[in-house]
Each structure stands twice: as C-alpha cells, then as structure tokens.
Chains A and B, each alone.
Chain A
Amino acid sequence: MNFDSRKIVIITFIVSIGLLYAFRLFYMQVIDDTWTLRAQEIAEKRKEITPPRGVIFDRNGKKVVSNQTYYNLMMVEADIEKLDTAAFAKLIGWTEQDVKDRFEQIRVGEGTFYNRHTKKRTSNYQKVRAYPFLKELTLEEIAEIAPHLGQFPGFYEEVTSMRKYPYRGGANILGYLAEVNREDIDKEPYYRPGDNMGRAGIERFYEKELRGQKGVKYIVTSALNNALEPFADGKYDTTARQSDPMKLGLDIILQAYGEKLMQNKKGCIVAIEPSSGEILAMVSAPSYDPNLLVGKRNIGINYPKLVMDPNKPLYPRPVASEYPPGSIFKLVQALVALEEGVIDVNTGFPCNKSLVGCHNHAPPSDVMKAVQYSCNPYFYQTTRRIIQQGKKKNTFEDAEIGLSIWAKYMHSFGLGETLGTDITGQRPGRIPDVAYYDKWYGHHQWAFSTIRSNSIGQGEVALSPLQMANLGVIIANKGWFYTPHFVKEIGNSGPLPGFDVKRYSKVESKHFLPVIEGMRRVVNESGGTGRQARMTDVVVCGKTGTVQNPHGKDHSVFLAFAPMDKPKIVIAVFVENAGFGGTWAAPIANLMIEQYLKGKVTDLAKEKRIVEAKLSNIL
C-alpha cells in the first residue's frame, strides 16, 4: 500500500499550527491592547512621593501649624514568609483576630478594577505592593516594634509626616486633615488611597496650595517589586516639592487669649486689622484642640465625640452662624439715613416709647446722642424715613421702593452675601428684600410697620459675626474695606488676588464721622452703654447690642475699634444668651484690644471674672 498521501495530513497539521499561531500573535500583539495594559500594570510603576504639607506661620512668624514625623508599618504580602500571627499580634499589641481582620480590610479597601476587555472585575490589591499595615505610629511606638521586624519578613517601617498644632488654638480656622475617600479620588485623581486632604478651614480652602507637588517617579520594577531602572531614563519624573510656607494675618497669641476668655461660653470673637482686612483672631466657642484630629487613629476616637457633642464644637460659628445683630445694626441705619438725606447730623427724634420700648436716657437730639444712648424709638423713626420716603402715594408701593434702596446699601456693606473670606463654611446672613417679604406676606401686602423690627437689628435681618466685624472695619475706615482674609501671603507672593482690592460702601466718608463720635461716647462718656470697654490711654469706639432671642437670655454683642483716629483693630464679640451687651461682650472686647495693642492685660480682676464665668447654656 502506498501511504504517501498521509504526508498531506502531517503538512496540514504543521501549516495550520503556523497560521493559527501567526493569527494569534497578530491579535495579541497588534490588535488587542489588553496585554500591553496588563504589562504596564505588572512592570511599570508610578512611585509617588508625597511631600510634607506647607507649614503655616502667624503674623508674628510664630509656627501655628507644623509637621511631625510619624511612622507607618508597611506590609508586602509577597514577602511575608510563614507569618507567626500570634507573635506578630503580640508585638503590635493586637489579638490574632485583629491582625487577620486588618489583612482582610486592606485587601477589600483597595477596591476593584473593571477590565472592559475581559468584562471582569479584579481586585486592585496586589501581593507585591506595599500597603500600610499600621499607620501613624509615634517614634516611641515604632521603637518598640522596629527591632523585632527582622523576624517578620514582609514588614518594614516607613517615615510619614502629620500635622502638629503647637498652640492648640484656632481649630475652627485651621481645620483638619482626613484620609481621602473613594469619592474624592474619583473627583480628583491626584489623590491615592491613604492620602490626606484638608477637610475644613484653611486646610481645606488652601488644599491645593498646602499639599505641594507630589513627586512622581516612573520605574520599571521586577517581580519582587524592586525598582530596576527609571522608566525612559527619568524623562517623565518630577520631584516632590513642599509648598512654600504660608503666612497668616492671624495673631496666634491673641487667638489663644480669645479662646481662653470664651471658655465655658458660647459665641464668637472676630478681630480684624481694618487697614489690611487681615483677620487677627476668630474665636469660635466652644472649640476643640486641633491636635485631637491629627491622624487616622485620633480622628477615629475623637471625631465621633466632637460630632455628638451638643455644644457643637466643630461648627464654625463666626462664619456659619447667622444672628440678629441687635443694636449694633443701628450704626448702619444711621449711615444709610444720612447718605439718603432723610436725616442730617442734627436731626432729633423724641424717645417715644409707644413706638418701641426703650430704657431711660436723655433725649436723642442728634445722631451722636442717638448712637450713644442706643435709642430704639430714634432708629425706629430713622428707618421709617428710609423705607417710607414718600416717593409713591401708596404706602405699600412706597415701602417697596424704600426697602430695595435700603437692601442695596446693605449689600454694599457686605451684608446678606458671603464676603469671600478664605475659609470654608461661610453663610451669607440675611438682608430681607422685596422678594423676601413678597413671598412672606404677598405683593404690596407689607410696609414699614410690618418690618419695623429690622430698624433696631431684630426681626428678619441676620448677620454672621464675621460680617459684624467687617461692618466695624467699614466704620473704622470710614467707608471701605478689604475682603477679610486669613492668608497674608504664601512664600513671598504678597497679598493673594482678590484680597488687595478696596471695596467701598455706598455711604460717603463724611457721614461716618458722627457715627464714630457716637461710638466714642458709647464707651467713653457717661450714659454710654459700653463703658466696660473703656481704656485709660486709648480711645476705644464701640457699640453694644442686646439681642432678644427665643432661645433664652439675650445675646450679648459688642462691636468696637481702637484707637479712634488710627484704628488698628476692629473687634466684634458675640456671647450667646449672656445678657446685656455692656456686661459681657464689652469687657471681652476690652481685654482683647488691650492684649493686642499692648501685648498684656492689666485688669486681671476683669480677666478673672470673664475666664471663670460659666454660662448656663453650656451643656
């Protein structure tokens, strides 16, 4: 028999295998890029170097926020050989179950990766990668562990840095850092799991400036995750750069002093340098020690406590609370009335208590006296003249015109809108306008008599303490202000854009003089309501406020600036449910001004009375 034709079978086998392999290779190498991606995943690694965050100084060069060295205990699963879980757990002071749980947590925490080619989800976790097993260990803690790590291959220590707040103050200004979550990473791929980002305050507002620039090294790695060589000779590498130091306008000593004065009270102090708009202090009481929220472990313990605290220490009251301003609002009413020409400096009104209640005082025969005595009926009548200017016969239509003029003035004082300060959590307050009342009462259904409470800073009008302080700045500057801000400069940048533009109120400079004179008398002359703020050698101008509110005792308010002719500090003090403005807020303002201008306080008895006072509304 001849079997020569069988060679065809064999040749067919050989040729088919050759063609099959050629097509397969064409598919793998030319068409499908799954394998290229997979190869990058395997061998080319980005190694990111996170620089320490920028350091923050106060206006006097004191370090307010610094970095401290901590250690992470890193783990590479591929390098772990026969882990003695019991011994390891004992070394780090955990139970064996804790150790197992932590492994699982790391694995799960890495999330999954969706491969659109294979339509399958795979875990991002890689055995050859390093993951922090324990984070943020102190030098003492790592010193206990590190010497024994030789017995546990696959574990090693790595240096990391965390925030430190040497003055324990300014928590509500500075904010805190916390680990990024999945959402943050999806929003901004800059972050990697385990990175920190600013969660509140300046840390959050200036996140991009403070985080600096991550260094990226592209390296080709071996199966053991050893770096072999820089990728493309380091062409795409960048070096890590810490951000330039940030300089605040804050005076940390004043801030700490303010926090001390406000202990066991609820309220705020906002102090601003009027010539620059730099915020000198911004106390939110009650507050917390910012060091409580440093690091994952601390946050884990303390954050829930702070959130649950009924006194809301995390709430940034000076920017986020909206209070009726009380009598300090009379200052604005006087300014608007003068500018609108509905009164002049010498306009007097009788203290007609049938219009609105008042205390006993000499007749307010001019603007100065009206401010000095804080006469309610005077400002009732002044404001009525602003709202009801008689431009229309119909009272309702007339009130509509009047209120819209008034609202424009208010906005020019930075009221009813957020100021644009460089901090998170600001609220605009409320300047009720035509639309507001139309919605409330109906179109042409309201007139001055409906909204009269606003004339003395009660009713619908609401201001944040920062806006109150800024009002003081406008008065001290006789008509203008810089947007109040915290950051003086970053590195040697000079004032940041937006904070170097003078903003003017719609009230002419000259109209401020009688108001300022009135404020001087409030503090310095008999019959003034703010005598507690008087200083012997510095002329302090101020205005008290006592805000009725449904939550208990009146809020005590004081707005002041000093010295009178060359104002260096404007201060707004707001103490919740404390009573009369002159009793609590004025002495606090007085102590703060003295501390700031002179560097020390002389009236220790007054200081003691304030510090030791514990107001009933603190829970």
Chain B
Amino acid sequence: MRANDKITQNMDWPLFVCYILLVSMGLMTVYSTAFDPDHPNFFDFSQKYGKQVLWVAVSLFLGLLVFLIDSSIYRKFAVPIYLFTLFLLVVVLFMPAINGAHAWLGFGSFGIQPAEFAKIGTALLLSSYVSNVNMNMQSVKTVVLSNAIILVPMVLVILQPDAGTLIVFTSFLFVLYREGMSYDPIVLKITNLIPGIKFKQTWIGTHFIPILFYVVMLCVITLLVSNNTFNLFFIEGLAVSGIVGVLFSLALIGVLVYLLLGRLASRRQKKQAFIVVLIAFTLSSALAMSVNSLFQGLAPHQKDRIELVLGLNEDQDGADYNRNRAMAAVGSGGTFGKGYTKASLSSVQSNHVPESETDFIFCPFAEEWGFFGSLFLIAVYIFMLLRIILIAERQRSRYYRIYAYSVGMILFYHFAINIGMNIGFAPVIGIPLPFFSYGGSSMMSFSILLFILLKLDSQRRDILY
C-alpha cells in the first residue's frame, strides 16, 4: 500500500488535461457566443460566460471534494445515492414546466436538472451491483435487475419528457455488453418454447450490441425506402412499394447466406443453419414491417424530424430550421474558420442558430475555428474516450472497470449525438456537449462523473476486487 500523502498522486494526467482543455475551449466559446458588448468582463456574473466561469469553479471545487472524500463511500452508499437521484427525478415531475418539460429543479434563481445527476447514480449502482463477487451474468435475476437499474430512471426521464437523456441511458447497454451480460436467459426461455428448437445460446442474447446496430441500420434503410417504389426484377410495371423491396432483399440475402453456409457445413449443421437463417429472416422482416407501419403512425412532427435527418424531406426554414442553420454555421466555417468572436451565424446576438451556447455550441466553435479547429476538438474527445477505455481496461477491480465504462459510454453518447446533430447526422435531440456546453447541471454532473473516475483510478492499486 502506498501512502496517500498527495491528493493528485497517481492521477491520470492525460485525462485531466483533456478535461481542462475541453472546459477552457468551452468557456472561450461561451464567451464568444454569448458576448454582450455592454458587459465585456469575462467574469461578469450577470452574463452567461460569467455564470459558466462560476459553474466551472464550482465543478472544480466538487472535483476537489471528490478527491478528498474516501472513495469507498460510492460503493457503500451506491443504493442511497441512486435512490436519492431517483427521488429528485420524481420531485422534478411536480415542478412547473419550462419549455414544455418538467426538467428543472429550482433553487432560487439557479436550477438544476436531476436527469444529469441520475446518470451518476445509475452508473454507481450499476457498477456496484454487477461487480458483486457472486454475480452470475447468465442468470435471469442478474439480467432483470441490472436492466431495472437502467430502466427506472429512463421511465422517470421520459415522463419529463426528455428524449435526449432517455437515449443516453441506453449507453449502459454497452457497459453490460462489455461485462459479458447476455439476454440469453430470457431469450432462450422464449425460443425454446418453439417445438423442435433447443438453443444453448443465441446471437440476439449474447451479441446484442452488434445486433442492435444491425437493427438500427435495418430501421434506417427501411425508413429511407419506405416512400419509394421499386421495379421488381427491374421490369417496368412490376412496381412494388419500398417495404416489399426490403423484404425481397432480405429474402435474397437469406438465401445467399444459407447457400454459403450449406457449402461449408455438415448435414446437421446445415439444418441448424437453415433454422438460424429462417429465424433471422423472419425477425428482420417483422422488424422492417413494424418499423414501416410504426413510422406511418408517428406524430407528424416526429415523422418530420426523422424524415429530415434521413434527407427524405427538405424544409430549410420550417421544421428543419435548427439543423439547417446549424449546418450552415458549421459548413461556413471553412478550412480555417472565421476567427474568434467572428461567428456571424451562431452568435447569440445574430440568433440564427438557436441554443448556440448550449446544445448547439459546436456551431460557433466550428464556425470560428473552421475545419482544423473542429478536427482538433473531435480528436480531443476521441482521445479522451479511448483514454477512458484504456483506464477501464487497466483496472484490477471489476467495479472500477464498470464505472469507467459507464463514464466512457455516457460521454461517447453525448459526444456522438451532439456533434452528429450539428453536422446533420443525427436528429435534433437536446443534449449538451460534455464539458463544453453552457449550463451548470451538465458541467457539474459531468465533472463529478469524471472526477470520481479519476479518483477511483488513482486508487486502482489499493483495491483487489
């Protein structure tokens, strides 16, 4: 055991430097974006940049606290912390709605968003639960409980409603995936009901992340072609609707895969391959058809958003106003940018890009610093995420690893969705860019999340499991 004489001892400096870099760039961008000529002082607390400076200071102070407090409490009090954040999520539902969502818990003139802190509670509980020594990742109980830990806050969040945070909670699935959790205990119960089938393992259950990816891609493709018609066999007059085209393609792929498998395997395996392909085809078709019919049944504004992201529709000044303005701002930055404080589209004053200091803060940054600036920012985030994965993988303790993955995946989701919506790759989902966007709750919650990770990592040698 080493003496803990210095709080920064064993701290992972590269990760901390990334944090400081992102926070500084964020502060700088908030200052440039929200700049008010009447209040040029960076520390003017009546302005957003002044407030953000305050939030950063508070966050650093919280980080210091995290380092001073004995890290074992997070594990000890995982359940109370989790329940407390759930309690806040319930309380917030009775708060007056701001912009149509019950997301803010008011403390005088300041408010916090409990949803941001619920991520911390969930990450801590999930880590401590899944890292139990006697944990059997293959049991029904484990699957149900670990998913329940994620699902309860998700339900509360969607009641606000806050679709962005809801989606972010699915990042924990990556964590469970990494820990080898399988949905097989449940999936097998269903599949084995079918007479003549007895699986020991299913792809859906074990490889649920790649399967999820396949599902999402299939959904996107189905939506893309759902309004088109195709000429079957390229014959004029044999026009079929898009969904029929998708099913036809799936069948074609299924046959090809089966033929390919059939050449390589024995008779028994052949039979198995046939069943697998048949099930895959059936499930895929069912999914494509239900997506198709669900999409047609969506509320018009939701349908609009999806159509806009997929490029099925164009409505620059209407439903696609935000995205169009954001993309114009990013794209007009050019190679070297317009220069600091020179953003003409995304400054708060010009107001072309809405929420340009919070959810769309990438716009002013990309507009002012151009491609090289944006590339640098992306690089810092990617480096940070990979660094977190590296930190996670070097833990002796499974608990620490799960927590590190939770942090990494939450940040990855925020990064991917936020930047994605700024460059037209994701629908407009209101979630902040970590360490960058203006806002106290997100700054504090992300900082606590990261500082706990830094603290745990610094003590990685002190712990055995």
Contact = CB atoms under 8 A, between A and B. Distances in A.
Contacts of A118: 314
Interface stretch (B252-260, B283-291, B298-306, B366-374): B366-374
B333 interface: yes
A122 B316 CA distance: 9
Interface string B290-334: 000000000000000000000000101100000011011111111
Nearest to B425: A24
B321 to A, nearest CB: 9
A501 interface: no
A34 B331 contact: yes
Given A6-B180, A28-B423, A21 B349 contact: no
Interface stretch (B107-115, B222-230, B378-386): B378-386
A29 B366 contact: yes
A39 B180 contact: no
B-side interface mostly: helix
Interface stretch (A52-60, A216-224, A288-296, A339-347): A216-224
Interface in B384-418: 385-386, 389, 392-393, 405, 408-409, 412, 415-416
Contacts, number: 127
Interface string A123-151: 00011000000000000000000000000
Contacts of B409: 10
A3 B375 contact: no
A127 B424 CA distance: 23
Nearest to B383: A18
Given A11-B389, A221-B350, A36 B316 contact: no
A232 to B, nearest CB: 11
B353 to A, nearest CB: 8
Contacts of A1: 180
Contacts of A32: 331
B350 A29 contact: no
Given A38-B324, A223-B350, A21 B419 contact: yes
Contacts of A39: 328-329, 331-332, 344-345
B373 to A, nearest CB: 9
B241 interface: no
Given A35-B327, A39-B332, A126-B317, A11 B349 contact: no
B130 to A, nearest CB: 12
A127 B317 CA distance: 8
Interface in A37-80: 38-40, 42-44
A39 B424 CA distance: 15
A14 B412 contact: yes
A29 B370 CA distance: 7
A24 B423 contact: yes
A25 B385 CA distance: 19
Interface string A1-38: 10110110111011101101110111011101011101
Interface size range on A against B: 35 or more
B334 A36 contact: yes
A15 B386 CA distance: 8
A608 interface: no
B352 interface: yes
A42 B381 contact: no
Nearest to B334: A29
A26 B325 CA distance: 18
A118 B331 CA distance: 15
Contacts of B139: none
B335 interface: yes
Contact of A29 (B209, B351, B374, B420): B374
Contacts of A18: 378-379, 381-382
Contact of A10 (B366, B379, B389, B416): B389
A228 interface: yes
Contacts of A9: 177, 209-210
A4 B390 CA distance: 12
Contacts of A38: 316, 324, 327-328, 331-332
Nearest 8 Cβ contacts at the A-B interface: A35-B331, A39-B332, A3-B180, A18-B382, A29-B371, A223-B351, A38-B328, A28-B331
Given A18-B382, A36-B332, 20 more contacts: A9-B210, A10-B408, A14-B386, A14-B389, A26-B375, A29-B333, A29-B366, A32-B331, A35-B327, A38-B328, A39-B329, A42-B325, A42-B328, A43-B344, A120-B314, A220-B344, A221-B350, A222-B350, A222-B351, A222-B352
